[in-house]
Structure 1
Amino acid sequence: MSRFTRHLSVLALSSGLLFSLAASASRDLDQDEVMQLVREGKIRPLTELMALNPDRFSGHLLDVEVEYENGRLVYEIEILDDAGNVREFYLDPVTGAILKEEIEDD
């Protein structure tokens, strides 16, 4: 194997490793995975967590995702509030604690 070929092989392996690490840093779970986690008691249903703070989560629910964000499982929800703002929340799926809240810009 030539020196050039070895460098290409190392580069290809490194690129694949970086892609794998990036992909694992943030990954959305599908419906079946979420339902399984709820059945196993590993996470709580979103409706239960939202009921803990109804004033904060009032409005129209636009989007919900359950994902690994930086190695941590979170609910990511978007709500259109009464003022017309889209608010994005990251919730701990066990405690319901708000980990992050943002107002999306237009």
Structure 2
Amino acid sequence: MTRIFAPTLAALLILPVAAGGQGAPGGDAELARDLVARGEILPLARVLDLLETQHPGQVVEVELEYEDGILVYEIDVVTPEGRLIEVDMDATDGRIVDIDEEDED
């Protein structure tokens, strides 16, 4: 899997204010760091390693969002065949919870 440089990928990590409509006082990135530090979610690097084994490709965007009551990493990947897919992975254990192929319109 082709990786984007860490600072670029960190800039792509977005944690919307879906958590009760309030962001963390220090910002959403700080909230994500705190969740990782407390062991509540996996670090992004670990999630990307897990993803690579099942769906190789180039990561083009990563978001951390609440979906159906759980935190998920939504990862957009361009597959080796050139398809754009979105893989949703449970942020707590790295389990794939959904895969969507983007339409070609």
**Structure-1-length-normalised TM-score:** 0.67
**Larger proportion of helix:** 1
Which residue of 65, 68, 75 maps to 2:66?
68
Separation in 1 of the partners of 2:76 and 2:32?
Answer: 18
- Taking only the aligned residue pairs, the percentage that are identical comes to 34
Matching of residues 32-51 of structure 1 within 5 Å:
32-51=30-49
Secondary structure in 2 aligned to 1:54? helix
Counterpart code for 1:47: A
- 1:91 equivalent in alignment to 2:85: no
Q: Which has the larger radius of gyration?
A: 1
Q: Is the 8 A contact 2:89 2:98 kept in 1?
A: yes
How far did 1:47 drift? 1.6
Structure 1 runs of 4+ with >3 Å offset: 23-27
Tell me the number of residue pairs that the alignment of Structure 1 and Structure 2 aligns. Answer: 83
Gaps of 5+ in 1: 1-22
Separation in 2 of the partners of 1:93 and 1:83?
Answer: 27
How far did 1:43 drift? 0.5
